[in-house]
Chain A
Amino acid sequence: MRHSINLTRLKQADAHDLDRAREKLQSVKKQHGDLAVGGAATAGAAQGPGRGLMSGTNSAFVKFSEVQKTYDGDTLVVKNLNLDIARGEFLTMLGPSGSGKTTTLMMLAGFEVPTNGSILLEARSIDAMPPHKRDIGMVFQSYALFPHMTVEENLAFPLKVRKLGRAEIEPRVKRALERVRLGGYGKRRPAQLSGGQQQRVALARALVFDPKLVLMDEPLGALDKQLREQMQLEIKHIHEDLGVTIVYVTHDQSEALTMSDRIAVFDDGIIQQLAPPAELYERPQNAFVAQFIGENNQLHGKVVAMNGTTCKVEIAGAGNVQALAINVDAVGRPTVLSLRPERVQLNPTPGTLPNVFSAEVAEVIYLGDHVRTRVSVCGHNDFVIKLPNSEGLVRLEPGAAITVGWKTEDCRALDAN
């Protein structure tokens, strides 16, 4: 139920999605000047909302249709999943552990069998197709490099399996190694490489046989932060250069935001929201997504009036708040207001904002580029404001009485989960 509601909402958001994607593509093309990105571009141009949102058509490159998965016969790990992935797309499945994202990936790879529903690859069902016939490259968190083979032998493995001649294997292995900037490392064993190098070899191995689709299961999870950020860009650039379709699983939101064309936020076996990164951050569709992506202030209240796209929410003992009605059903129902910390204005000029409340500073934390201020407002004392450390920054002391305010469109009334 919940998912179908989401789907309709997603369809409403299509026009907007498309614009964002086009913008993104344009900027990508400008940056790299590479026509190989055209995979995603043509899909986008030809299909309208061509990133696979048109359920019911055969246009999707990968299509999950009514897929369910249970391991024990009691609880569904994946609940009624419908998801279309376009050719050339970089789709990230993001969610906390146990949310069903890895199971979904494993079903696509062929290592798990859906309990119900079916998965289509290029409009053909792959339910009965064993993993080695699917032609899907895969990168694992543990790298899964074969320790008894050299780097070159690891890379040649998928080519040998495909019975390619030596004359063809050698240049392809060489090219793949150069693509991940490991040209001189072919004769080494995986154990002689650092974690980052091993992961690059794993990446090269998943790409060397030109698969239609590459799956990545938290590939950067074992690396340190700096290396991870570097690898994120590398993967992103490889994706843009090759135009290969990538399905990426992670629980790290910044990773997802950095690389993806679209992000599917998983929780409890359901896709909570499927949207491009900016959309996901700016316009979360429910309380879980708002909370999971980025920092978020939550105010609990009750809807007292609905007025088209906006609504009035009463916060007990504090007054009424004007908010966007995103995920509220009717007057009288409880709701959670979601508000990004950087969208809160400190001591606004009276009369400019519809929502202004008096508050008391509880804690001030200096973080270099910004100052995090925890204030007590509307009966909530975990309300956070981020103030950029720019000219005119007001120095606040704990205990100071201030006013805070925000725009209606920055405040989203979501489901009270």
Chain B
Amino acid sequence: MVTMAVQIARGPDGMPLRTKLARVERRRKLRAFTLVLPLLLFILIGFVLPIGRMMFNAVHDDTLLTLMPRTTAALSAWDGADLPDESAYAALAEDLKQAWAQRATGAIAKRINYELPGLGSQVTSSARKASTLSAGPYKPALIEINPLWGRQDVWSLLKRGSSAYTAYYLLRSVDYQYGPNSEIVASPPENAIFWDMFLRTLGISIGVTAATLLLGFPVAYLLATLPAKYSNLLMIMVVLPFWTSLLVRTVAWVVLLQQHGVLNEMLLGLHIISQPAQLIFNRIGTVIAMTHIQLPFTLLPIYSVMKTISRTHVRAARSLGAGPFYAFWKVYFPQTLPGIAAGSLLTFILCLGYYITPAMVGGPNDQMVGSFIAHYTNEELNWGMASALGAILLTATLVLYYVFNKLVGVDRIKMG
């Protein structure tokens, strides 16, 4: 019996079948993996690493730690109750001299200016003056050069710089900041703009999603039920704008909606309004243009789900005694929900990241989080703020997705 089993488990060349199977399987898996490797690398390099780096930037800032090593080291023993002692001032003088010599004062000034606006230029000028100091005591000399070195909040900031990690950018992004003694306080009103901005982003996204649903659902229904001759034509009309550049479509809305644009002239000509309506560079324009751009994203998943719903379901409902509306509402509509969920989720998440369209057709009060990220990245070069806002946006999106998944179930979604 035993010899039989051994014989069966071996191939003709004497190699155990199990080993042979494993070898064949491994070769097959390797080949499959080689095929997906380019995409995997692309996603890793083009997507995972930059996002990881961005998330890291949101909490990591070692400007003060690297450029003012002596000061930050001397401050590690400081309790923060009163101004630090002479040794800290000596370290500061040394760091400022070195920074001046290495032309690094600008970076220090910029960093301090983030948290204490207006002090940046004073830091630079005092560094220039400090470079001429030859001997101590440095404490009165530095305060003499610039009173800022006698301020508690400046020293608290320098002490926080002894850590390479800071919550400052994230705090700022939700309208909080550090107080003079490193306690967390609400931002002053002129700086507290981000919470409103996040709410606005959410509001515009919800509004646009709702508008695309209301407009898209009937069109999707038509597309799914019309005979092929008409539905193909309608489909082209739906996807043609989809293939056109987002920028072109946004500019087209500027032409249509502006003060003396097509729409206003028409309404004036028909005497519906007596003076041009403000349709652009405000919330109305933003929502109209975004709705137009997002419509196919909502519509197509709904359409693809509707395509799979058998016509006999409604017929069956009718034969069972349901009127046309009841049959639609109780039998047809519930079956479209996976498509509605997919379409709205897609549109909602894409809306959260909009920035070109609000920048072009919106007013100053219609800018969304994307605009702020772009502003910090391109104009202020404040990558810490850009990263913090981006990280919050990403986290919020993931949380919303999670909640959505709990409520609807992502496995029920059909993208097409």
Residues of A within 8 A of B (CB): 109-111, 130-138, 140, 142, 144-148, 157-158, 161-162, 205-206, 209, 215
Contact = CB atoms under 8 A, between A and B. Distances in A.
B interface, over-half SS:
helix
A138 B312 CA distance: 10
Contact of B316 (A110, A134, A144): A144
Given A146-B331, A157-B330, A132 B312 contact: no
Contacts of A144: 310, 312-313, 315-316
A140 B316 contact: yes
Contacts of A136: 319
B74 interface: no
A109 B320 contact: no
A205 B320 contact: yes
B311 to A, nearest CB: 9
Given A148-B334, A148-B335, A132 B316 contact: no
Nearest to A136: B319
Nearest to B335: A148
B33 interface: no
A209 B319 CA distance: 11
A132 B315 contact: no
A280 B319 CA distance: 32
A148 to B, nearest CB: 5
A157 B335 contact: no
Contacts of B322: 132, 157-158, 161
Contacts of A146: 313, 316-317, 331, 335
Contacts of B331: 146
Contact of B319 (A137, A142, A147, A162): A137
A110 B321 CA distance: 12
Nearest to B322: A161
Contact of A109 (B319, B324, B334): B319
B318 interface: yes
Contacts of A134: 319
B323 interface: yes
Given A146-B331, A157-B330, A162 B321 contact: yes
B114 interface: no
A1 B330 CA distance: 47
Nearest to B309: A147
Most A CB within 10 A of own CB, among B310, B315, B316: B316
Contacts of B315: 109, 111, 131, 138, 140, 144
Interface string B252-270: 0000000000000000000
Contacts of A138: 315-316, 319-320
A57 to B, nearest CB: 28
A146 B336 CA distance: 12
B326 interface: yes
A367 B312 CA distance: 41
A135 B312 contact: no
B416 to A, nearest CB: 18
A133 B318 CA distance: 9
B312 A137 contact: no
Nearest to A153: B330
21 contacts: A110-B319, A130-B324, A131-B318, A132-B319, A132-B324, A137-B320, A138-B315, A138-B320, A140-B315, A142-B312, A144-B312, A144-B313, A144-B316, A146-B316, A147-B335, A148-B335, A157-B317, A157-B322, A158-B321, A162-B321, A215-B319
A372 to B, nearest CB: 40
A146 B324 CA distance: 16
Interface string B313-351: 101111111111011001100110000000000000000
A161 B312 CA distance: 18
A209 B317 CA distance: 13
Contacts of A135: 321
Contacts of A161: 320-322, 326
B310 A157 contact: no
Contacts of A132: 318-324, 327
A205 B334 CA distance: 19
Contacts of B313: 144, 146
B286 to A, nearest CB: 36
A147 B322 CA distance: 17
A109 B322 CA distance: 13
A137 B324 CA distance: 16
Contacts of A206: 319-320
Contacts of A131: 315, 318-319
Nearest to B316: A144
Contacts of B312: 140, 142, 144
Instruction: Report, nearest first, the 10 A-B pairs whose CB atoms are least far apart.
Output: A144-B316, A158-B320, A138-B319, A144-B312, A131-B318, A161-B321, A148-B334, A140-B312, A161-B322, A132-B318
Most A CB within 10 A of own CB, among B312, B317, B321: B321
Contacts of A109: 315, 319
A132 B323 CA distance: 6
A206 B323 CA distance: 16
A157 B320 contact: yes
